[in-house]
Structure 1
Amino acid sequence: MNVRAPQLPKLRDQTLRFLDDPQSALRSGTSSGIQPGLDALASQLRAADLYWVTEDMAALAVSAGSQLAAARWTVADRPSPIGLAMFDGGISTIDARGAQIPVEGVAWGPYDGECMVWLLLSRRRLIAEMTRTDIQLIEEETPPLIPVYGFTIPLTGEALPMAELDVGDCPLIVMQALAASWLLMQQPNLVERATLPADKTVARSYRRAQRPVPDVTLVDLRRHYVPDTAEPNGDGAGSRYRHRWVVSGHWRDQAHGPGRSLRRRTWVPTYVKGPDGAPLLVAEKVNVWRR
């Protein structure tokens, strides 16, 4: 993704200008039935807590989500009641009349007693992909964060089976990754959250307008869940992996006791393995546009 985390407040505000302008291509080119959903998206973006999910965490959410059979979507189950999360590298695609559109961002918030979710695509990603075609994008008529698909989820005390979610054309893998990311964000033993300030130019514009300067929460995998890069062959050869990949949560025999001679069955959380900077491989089939 070409967008950087500190730019997110600016992209959010620029997108709001399109949503607030009834003459914009986003509004004037949208059917009347979708207008209330865009109104709700505008309200969400104004109040949203901002999250930037790193590539490792996005891959982890996809992998861990594939093991989620059910999830709850209430306010208590979200990292924030209203939020906007951008996933570096994306979390799969959604089919739009035969075209596979990457899902790079997700916005959520309350709507008529339910949780409304919007899937988003960055304008920069779209421009990069369209350079491979004969189609040209009119950039000044396109918001920085493009609403791709919106839907609502009922709020229930019990977990809803993933296979029974009525979310229209939204792929199951996206819903699973979103639910997993919400759960992982709230597990400090697995995830590290850091607060990043907005770009200086963005901060100045907020101060001129006498508005509080927003922060962006960076969500990343804690380093102690990334094993060393040596091959586990026990011969001390020091061979190194050439890729990183997601290792699913699993049981293993953990050594303990006198001289570590005993074994205890221990649950190992999902993690990303391999050396920093190496290409990331995703085990599950994830249809994501690549730059």
Structure 2
Amino acid sequence: MSIRPQTLPKARAQTIQRMLGLHDKPNPFLRGNDEGVTGRIVSHLRAAELYWVSEDMAALAMSSGSQLAAARWATADRPSPCGLIYFDGGVGTVQVSGTMSGPVQALAWGPSPDGTLTVTHLMTREHFMGGAQVPFPEAVPPLVAIREARLPVTVEPVPFVDLPAHEGMKPPLPIVSALAAAWHLMQQPQLVERGSVEPGKADARSLRRSGLPSDPVTLVSLRRQYVPQAREGEPSGSRVYRHRWVVSGHWRDQPHGPERALRRKTWIPAYVKGPDGAPLLSTERVNVWRR
């Protein structure tokens, strides 16, 4: 069962409560963790801003993330210093224990004592219970922490292939690249629509009584129609194109900031280029993704 935007605050609160029951012992659901991992994850979840990403947006993050070669993980590059982002449909799988693999459906991030950024990979309780024998199932939180990654906080982007291992495991590149892509895409209002969803009234009252956060959830989804504002390489002068062709989606370093001296990764969606009415070249297969 997936978590909906209105129920994400409650799921976060129940996860905090059940993890606090561990009394800062090593998390029994998290593979290879240190003694302070429970307190660190709880601290990140308490301070986290909440994001719920629609299934088509999650798919775009996965697809566009595969075209990124590097990323920065500094505070200025994140939508918030600490966050919890739930991807409807998930963003890939990781090895949980032995031969068992599980889907990653949410990611939480926050600072680590060593100055790196901790990204906690989370699976829903239903998926975890479907693949594990747990002696006390009532103690399993709605979001189960199954893996950690430590990402360097640097001035320059770090290539994904150079990311260091944590406790003998390299960060799963499809997942961390999807997170980096999601952060970039969330800064593109012409492509991405952001809204706010409040928790249900009963849940909000219960959370306030418990002294737990009842913050609204930022809903992130693709706009229904997108028309590029500026197309690269439009014909100019006396050059005349007699065909149309498809330009694949790609990342571009977009100038911004004072005197446009800074660069920000911007996703340019696929579009058809060339004069209206001209024949469409079909030398390549074109996959059309409709909502």
**TM-score scaled by length of structure 2:** 0.73
- Would you say the 8 A contact 1:18–1:24 is kept in 2? no
Deviations 1:197-229 (A, max 9, x none): 102221121344576631011110011139xxx
Q: 1:172 deviation in Å?
A: 1.1
Paired residue type of 2:149: F
Q: 1:192 to 1:251 in 2, by over 3 A?
A: closer
Q: 1:10 deviation in Å?
A: 0.8
Q: 1:136 deviation in Å?
A: 6.6
The CA distance in 2 between the partners of 1:10 and 1:93, in whole Å, is 24
Which of 139, 142, 145 is residue 141 of structure 1 equivalent to?
139
> Residue 55 of structure 1 aligns with which residue?
55
> Residue 116 of structure 1 aligns with which residue?
118
Paired residue type of 2:190: N
What are structure 2's unaligned runs of at least 5 residues?
228-247, 251-268, 279-286
SS in structure 2 of the partner of residue 177 of structure 1: helix
The CA distance in 2 between the partners of 1:29 and 1:98, in whole Å, is 15
Which of 260, 266, 273 is residue 289 of structure 2 equivalent to?
273
- Would you say the 8 A contact 2:26–2:36 is kept in 1? no
> Residue 256 of structure 2 aligns with which residue?
none
- Would you say the 8 A contact 1:26–1:142 is kept in 2? no
SS in structure 2 of the partner of residue 219 of structure 1: strand
SS in structure 2 of the partner of residue 57 of structure 1: helix
SS in structure 2 of the partner of residue 43 of structure 1: helix
The CA distance in 1 between the partners of 2:63 and 2:29, in whole Å, is 36
Q: 1:273 deviation in Å?
A: 2.0
Matches within 5 A, 1:71-90: 71-90=71-90
Paired residue type of 2:127: R
Which of 165, 171, 185 is residue 163 of structure 2 equivalent to?
165
Task: Report % sequence identity.
Answer: 41
SS in structure 2 of the partner of residue 44 of structure 1: helix
Paired residue type of 1:156: T
> Residue 125 of structure 1 aligns with which residue?
127
Paired residue type of 1:193: R
Aligned alpha-carbon RMSD (Å): 3.0
Deviations 1:171-195 (A, max 9, x none): 2111111111111111111111110
Paired residue type of 1:119: H
The CA distance in 1 between the partners of 2:29 and 2:197, in whole Å, is 35
The CA distance in 1 between the partners of 2:151 and 2:145, in whole Å, is 17
Q: 1:166 deviation in Å?
A: 1.4
SS in structure 2 of the partner of residue 109 of structure 1: strand
Which of 253, 256, 273 is residue 254 of structure 1 equivalent to?
273
Paired residue type of 1:152: R
- Would you say the 8 A contact 1:53–1:219 is kept in 2? yes
Name which of structure 1's ranges 68-77 and 180-189 shifts more when overlaid on structure 2. Answer: 180-189
Paired residue type of 2:289: K
> Residue 197 of structure 1 aligns with which residue?
198
**TM-score scaled by length of structure 1:** 0.73
Paired residue type of 1:190: L
- Would you say the 8 A contact 1:195–1:218 is kept in 2? yes
What are structure 1's unaligned runs of at least 5 residues?
227-246, 263-270, 277-291
Answer yes or no: is 1:155 the counterpart of 2:153.
yes
Dislocated runs of 4+, deviation >6 Å:
28-32
